[in-house]
Amino acid sequence: MNDLLRKIDSKAVKVGVIGMGYVGLPLAMEIAKANIFVSGIDISIPKVEQLNQGISYIGDVTSEELAEQIRSDRLKATTEFNVVRDLDVIIICVPTPLGKTKDPDLSMVMAAVERIAENQRPGQLVVLESTTYPGTTEELVLPRLQESGLQVGKDFFLAFSPERVDPGNPVYQTHNTPKVIGGVTPQCLEVASRLYRHFILRIVPVSSCQAAEMVKLLENTFRSVNIGLVNEVALMCDRLGVDVWEVIDAAGTKPFGFMPFQPGPGLGGHCIPIDPLYLSWKLKTLDYRARFIELASEINADMPRYVVNKVNDALNDFSKSVKNSRILVVGVSYKKDIDDLRESPALDVIQLLQKRGAKVVYHDPFVAEIRLDNTTLLSSDLELALRSTDCTVIVTNHSRLNYQRIVDLSPVVLDTRNATKGIVSPKIIKL
């Protein structure tokens, strides 16, 4: 332990980050900028080649700053896991999706752990950052790493530190977002905390890996449940003939006891639609039903269908049906001003419209193409698409779009994000 701490304190430590995606690459960049050597490990050959050429494919990391770290030899990408033998710290940042049955899919985590175990040596720190259910680190990761006979807290160190990445956030990035860390032993917590303090402004230690795992799920369950609530309020307001956006804005003036959330066409991103279901799944194994989580998930998952029904109603007012109508979807990324399509509700909206026979095109300044089943759609020219559409659906409210122009050229606009706030027109239908 003392040897590893000396390396960490002197920045002579060598770190590996497994998974060069939205979490791993920004983290590797912060480590490199702290003047610590980092190996970016990924199974994708094209990604590794791009990284070593100084070309970034992540919006929060510019190619210029990536190239600087590559040139300085502080960051090097590789597909070879045998580099683990020469590393002092290995951080796992791989995806943890849900399977078709909504069960946690930890295959990528365990594949990474397997490769670490094959190259493990005494004196290393392993940190899992991938979101998962409480108990994963100690129940699945720890036993595999101890098979060699090494003792945790003495021969090697193991911790869990949940990622808190918010793509496109102009204020909070990796370095200034507080970092929760839980260790299997107090020694594990100390080693991990000493490492992260070099490149994260604030460390938040907790008593165990399980507590740290639960922190992440609480954060995103809180958001999922409150978004589910405000989505249901939107449905209520629709029935009552009340503007839900006006209600939210007015309620948001209360200086205490209220936090405004926004309704929308559904949930997107890797975290909010998925993480609460990890917790729900875990609780089912303990004979407990997480009713709030399941209800919120049900409401949020049904919002794309509600949007399509609103499109149907809007077209009916023009004596048209969805079938054979030309529908323009504006914005397909899961949130504004980024290119991330993960779990985007726009994809569900498009597919539901297509199943009803609509001729769907889309425009997104951040997403050049999308793949749906066996088809590929390319982002259309906005002006041309607006001039031929029967209905425009605003799914993602990118800042750079001219919404007045969209309203002017569209026969009818269904605005699911309140992007047209301040524009007065009978053409606009709000969520």
What residues are annotated to the active site? 271
Name 91's bridge partners.
Answer: 17, 127
Name the 3-class secondary structure at 328. Answer: strand
CA 226 vs CA 232, 258, 415: distances in Å: 10, 11, 21
The helix or strand, by DSSP H or E, that contains position 392, with its residue range, turns out to be strand 391-394
E strands of 173-292, at which residues? 179-183, 203-206
CA-nearest of 251, 234, 364 to 303 is 234
Distance (Å, rounded) from C-alpha 248 to C-alpha 211? Answer: 33
CB 88 within 8 A of CB 17: no
Distance of CA 257 to the CA centre of its chain: 28
The helix or strand, by DSSP H or E, that contains position 136, with its residue range, turns out to be helix 136-136
E strands of 175-303, at which residues? 179-183, 203-206
Burial of 91 (0-12, 13-18, 19+ CB in 10 A): buried
Crossing angle between the packed helical segments 24-33 and 63-71, to the nearest 10 degrees:
50
CA-nearest of 363, 413, 415 to 384 is 363
Tokens (6 digits) for 111: 């594949």
- Can you list the alpha helix ranges (DSSP code H) found in 153-271? 186-196, 209-240, 244-251
Distance in angstroms between the alpha carbons of the first and the last residue of the chain: 57
